[in-house]
Structure 1
Amino acid sequence: ELVKKQEYKQLALDGLETATDTMMNLCDVCLDISPMALQVYKVGLRSAQGDTAVAISTLLSAASSGLYTSLINIKLAKGAAWTIAKRSDLEKYFGRLHEYQYIHSGRLATMYNNI
């Protein structure tokens, strides 16, 4: 009975690690694409700025969701060995996300202030 419980606990931790990896990959890909989208918004067609702004918002939202879910999963894992290696990546993702959100929000504020 105790052995089965330990096996199930390990299976749950393995699943949590896989889910965390998936969400971290989502975050990473969205953050890799975000600078390109920010650049397209800056130098692209004026008529496409609305569409580009929506794309940027979507990328940042998905990155934020991936980061948030990863952090929750790591907290749930309660110090499992695999969580330690992921923390430095999550710290980098957090910094990048904050930077891109700052840029995007600044552009929104500029538009608002110029109407």
Structure 2
Amino acid sequence: MVVKTDPAKAVRQAQDLIKECNRVLLNDANDLPQAFEQSADVLELLAAMDWIVLEGGGDPKAEAATTAAELRAVAAGGGQFAKNLADPASARFLMEGSAERAVLLSPKEIEAARTPADGWKRDQLAA
């Protein structure tokens, strides 16, 4: 027995799944900065307690401080990442039933847009 699925219902179900996936992704992205900050704190704590040893020698506290600073920089970027995901203008992460049309180029148009093997001449670039 073949069961027919209403295409509109299938699209709504797909939208709901995508929205749920986006919600989970956004929640995880919001947690990233805190995870990196906490990792940096633990690293600095371990270095202060002299629990870090470097195989090749060197100053563990200096290396821990450098790595902690890098983790904090990543945390700041993670916060921006979460803000970008939450931005309504981000069509990749929000699906509200509107779709943008994609323009597909013909093979001739693609070939015409390619850079010549010897590069573009100055007068071609100016045109």
Q: TM-score, normalised by structure 2?
A: 0.45
Structure with the larger helix share: 1
Comparing both chains, which one has the higher relative contact order based on Cα–Cα distances under 8 Å and sequence gaps of 6 or more? 1
